[in-house]
Amino acid sequence: MARSRVLLVDDNESVRITLQAALEMNGFEVASATGVNEALHLIGEQQFDVLVSDLHMPGHGDGLTVVSAMRHSNPKAITLVYSGYPEMKAAVAAILMQADEVLLKPLSVPDLVDAIRKKLDGQKKNADRTPESVAEILDSDSEKIMQLWLSRVEENASLNSIHLTTEQRTAHLPQLLKELSTRLRSPQDMRTKLPESKWAHQHGKTRRMQGYSAPMIVEESRMLQVAIFQILQNNLNRVDFSLVLLDVMTIADEVDSQLCQAMQAFSTEPAPVTVAA
């Protein structure tokens, strides 16, 4: 059985030598590179099953450059990067880097070997899986988005000062999510004026009549974006990464457009009349 081929990239000689020896002892065939230029040369000349790279090398963005090159030349390769900064684990994961996993220093050899084997095993099991578009994921998980959004709203004291039923609070969401999905399926230039949304306008008018303030509508919209991105984060294994960055920008642009239209309707709708007791 052919051994899995690993490209190891680290400018620290002692770390590189130690990791290479440990990986080879665990049955992997390892080629090593001292930096981005050497790594790019190897990626262009050879095929690899796994990339293991330090994220922070002397050149700014070196780790990201290596990951991007590997994804382009060896799209099926498992990509593992490691960093000495814990905050990078969440910030860099998958969407921006398309890395399969971000490991933290100090790097444990058993953990590294275990991560490589699990990813390779998972890759074999998912070889026939067809990646889904962001629109497909949002369509299939629209109820989860609404539930996540509602749970965040219910934790907000200001929004809950307006007493509404669940149906009244979420009435606008199905149609706005449907419009978002439609736009994702038919991408447009970000500079193109978007069509008017009757649902966004109606939402603004309804919230005015229900007694909302402008900041409350803005906060609801922010929570919707957070809920959408959380669902995508939870489904990274399903995402087609070839369009994901454009889709993320489209989501932000569409939700902001819906908010602007809702605010326009909100500002022109007469305030509800209150009758003194």
The full set of domains in the chain, from first to last, is: 5-125 (3.40.50.2300), 134-268 (1.10.490)
Per-residue pLDDT of the chain (277 residues; tens, 9 = 90+): 678 999 999 989 999 999 999 999 999 999 999 988 899 999 989 999 999 998 777 765 567 788 878 887 888 888 888 876 554 444 444 444 456 677 777 778 888 888 888 888 876 555 555 677 888 999 999 999 999 999 999 999 999 999 999 999 999 999 999 999 998 887 665 566 667 889 999 999 999 999 999 999 999 999 999 999 888 888 876 776 556 667 888 888 889 889 999 999 998 877 665 545 4
| Cα separation, 31 vs 267, whole angstroms | 63
Residue 104: exposed, middle, or buried by beta-carbon count in 10 A (0-12, 13-18, 19+)? Answer: middle
User: Would you state the pLDDT for residue 121?
Assistant: 80
* Tokens 């909302």 belong to residue: 212
User: Would you state the pLDDT for residue 26?
Assistant: 94
Coil, strand or helix at 154: helix
Partners of residue 80 on adjacent β-strands: 52, 101
Contact yes or no for 81/112 (Cβ under 8 A): no
Looking at beta carbons, which pairs linking 156-165 to residues 24 or more positions away fall under 8 Å? Answer: 156/219, 156/223, 158/215, 158/216, 158/219, 159/216, 159/219, 159/220, 162/210, 162/211, 162/212, 162/216, 164/210
Residue 149: exposed, middle, or buried by beta-carbon count in 10 A (0-12, 13-18, 19+)? Answer: buried
Going by their DSSP bridges, the two strands 50-54 and 5-9 should be labelled as parallel
CA nearest to 102, candidates 117, 116, 111, 92: 92
User: Would you state the pLDDT for residue 187?
Assistant: 64
**What is the distance in angstroms between the CA of the first residue and the CA of the last residue of the chain?**
85
What predicted TM-score, i.e. pTM, was given to this entire model? 0.55
